[in-house]
């Protein structure tokens, strides 16, 4: 058994996000292309003999009675494995919160993967994916650990073919967006079907930019016009394409190289007080 471990918990972006409809249970039918990027939270995990599960994260202010998803992940894994142990988790956040970059889901998946290794539980990926789906729709993607085409509620995953070499510039103006409110406000058109979608077949950078699409933009950009301005400024700064990730409020621009993304980041940082971060895909 490994008593202590430090792990990276990466962010994600949605290269496309189609909302096809709503299930009777309230969840939405989705079709998404997702990719991890090398912006990461740092997570330190310590296994003890007792003491329950404790999470410390200075950057997160939880409401009374609210539980951190990383803590729920640890408790779920311990219960599944029928292991009595204490777990202490320290999260150092670098991924903006409520920003469409999957930080919380990534934290939960990272804890599941790390504890499975630390406790030598030897749970296979299918079992971990099932546990992840109980925590949130994006959690299985981070357990999958590859660029993925996600359908259903986002938990049915298949690997994407090799994507072109690009860099991304992430931009967030400091607006926290409620994913639940965005989905509740989405006016669904009739008859969205997976079979009617164009295949996410990307070979070149031009293919990638042509495939960029997010159905949630119509809600979030209407509420926050600043985000439309950010998209335009990314394009003016040299991005080949730009898109909102998830329900927002983070956006990203597609650049030919990290050097080009860094140059655009420098320009935006001089002109605005937005959070900007050049990243590479994982």
Residues designated catalytic: 12, 138
Asked if 52 and 38 touch (Cβ cutoff 8 Å), the reply is no
Pairing of strands 213-214, 4-22: parallel
Sign, CA dihedral 152-37-41-79, equals positive
DSSP-H helix ranges across the chain: 69-81, 103-118, 125-135, 139-144, 179-185, 205-211, 217-223, 226-236, 258-271
Task: Enter the tokens of residue 245.
Answer: 């990730």
Q: How far apart are CA 60 and CA 76, in angstroms?
A: 21
Cis preceding-peptide flag for 72 (omega within 30 of 0): no
């Amino acid at each position: 058994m490994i008593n202590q471990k430090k792990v990276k918990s990466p962010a994600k972006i949605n290269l496309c996000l189609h909302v096809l409809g709503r299930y009777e249970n309230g969840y939405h039918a989705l079709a998404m292309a997702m990719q991890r990027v090398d912006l990461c939270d740092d997570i330190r995990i310590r296994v003890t003999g007792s003491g329950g599960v404790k999470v410390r994260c200075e950057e997160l202010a939880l409401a009374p009675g609210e539980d951190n998803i990383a803590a729920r992940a640890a408790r779920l894994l311990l219960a599944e494995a029928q292991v009595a142990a204490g777990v202490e988790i320290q999260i150092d956040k670098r991924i903006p919160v409520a920003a469409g970059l999957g930080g919380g889901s990534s934290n939960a998946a990272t804890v599941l993967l790390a504890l499975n290794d630390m406790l030598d539980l030897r749970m296979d990926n299918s079992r971990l994916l099932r546990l992840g789906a109980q925590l949130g729709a994006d959690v299985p993607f981070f357990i999958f650990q590859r660029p993925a085409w996600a359908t259903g509620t986002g938990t049915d995953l298949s690997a994407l073919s090799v994507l072109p070499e690009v860099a991304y510039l992430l931009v967030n103006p400091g607006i926290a967006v409620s994913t639940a409110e965005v989905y509740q406000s989405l006016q669904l058109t009739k008859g969205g079907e997976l079979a009617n979608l164009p295949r996410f077949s990307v070979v070149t950078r031009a293919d990638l930019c042509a495939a960029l699409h997010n159905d949630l933009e119509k809600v979030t950009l209407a509420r926050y016009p600043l985000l439309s301005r950010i998209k335009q400024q990314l394009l003016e700064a040299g991005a080949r394409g730009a898109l909102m990730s998830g329900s927002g409020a983070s956006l990203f621009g597609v650049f030919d190289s990290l050097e080009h993304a860094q140059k655009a980041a420098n320009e935006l940082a001089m002109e605005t007080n937005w959070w900007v971060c050049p990243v590479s895909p994982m």
